[in-house]
Amino acid sequence: MMVPVLGLLLLPCLAQAAGYRIDLGARPFRVEGPSYCVLVSMERPHQASRDEVVFRQGDRFCAWRRDGLHTRAGHRVRHWPLDATDGRSSLGEPSASPSLAGARRIGDNVYLLVRWQTRPGVATERLYEVNLSEGLPRPRLLGGFEGTSTAQEAVDDRLATVGERPTWIARRADGAWGVAFWEPGLGQVAFQQLGEGLELVVPVSDRIHLFVERTSYGTRLL
């Protein structure tokens, strides 16, 4: 899967990326494609913190709450403790309560990107799938990736759907960043690098994100 990238502006004097602002007057700028036009504000919309995410199909539920993953079929309810070990790597001791980097439903399947703080400043993430058509839906571990998403909240929304695949912006410890996505044909999480030195991601909509990247010259690329 290839993801097109458009570089917009090089801003040598963009001060403090976490609080940047570009004054474009009274109008937002326009993003145009072959069949759409989107008006984009440079200000990140305020998003209230969420305590849970719930998906439903008939009498079957998949819910992520602060205490983790729950599924339900009729009167049967189960809480699923998840750990950060995928059987192939040793990740140290995960935190007692994993967080949710993002969740999306595609057809009968719910995809959850679960995040653990393995030690101060270091996190790991795993992608799970829950099939809502099963008698009692249960999580199935799909795999992990050597990088992490840009999630910050205990219940965040950093997972998107691109080409019927769960997809997210990820960065690696070596500074590379790009798009991570589940590749069913390979049975693993794949990664397409887009750049290096990602400092900030501003989700404007499901289709538009703004990226701030530091260059080797100390400037920032938007």
Please give the chain's pLDDT, 222 residues, in tens. Answer: 444 333 333 333 333 333 334 444 445 655 555 665 556 555 555 555 678 899 999 999 999 987 889 999 999 999 998 876 544 444 444 445 789 999 999 999 999 999 988 777 788 899 999 999 999 999 999 988 888 998 888 899 889 888 899 999 999 988 899 899 999 988 999 999 988 888 777 766 666 667 777 665 554 454
| Amino acid 173: pLDDT | 87
Phi, psi of 129 (to 5 degrees): -125, 135
Torsion angle of alpha carbons 144, 146, 150, 153, nearest 10°?
50
Query: Do residues 214 and 23 lie in contact, with contact meaning Cβ atoms separated by under 8 Å?
Result: no
17 three-state secondary structure: helix
Q: What is the pLDDT of residue 130?
A: 96
Alpha-carbon distance of 170 to 132, in angstroms, equals 27
pLDDT of residue 47: 56
- The strand pairing partners of 29, in sequence order, are 40
Q: Are 68 and 53 in contact (CB under 8 A)?
A: no
- Residue 147 CA to residue 177 CA, distance in Å, equals 8
- Beta-bridged to residue 30, according to DSSP, are 39
pLDDT of residue 175: 87
pTM metric for this prediction: 0.73
Name the residue ranges covered by the structural domains of the chain.
49-221
Query: Could you give the 3-state DSSP secondary structure of residue 81?
Result: coil
- Coil, helix or strand at residue 29: strand
List residues bridging with 62 in a β-sheet.
55, 71
d(CA 180, CA 170): 6
> SS3 for 201?
strand
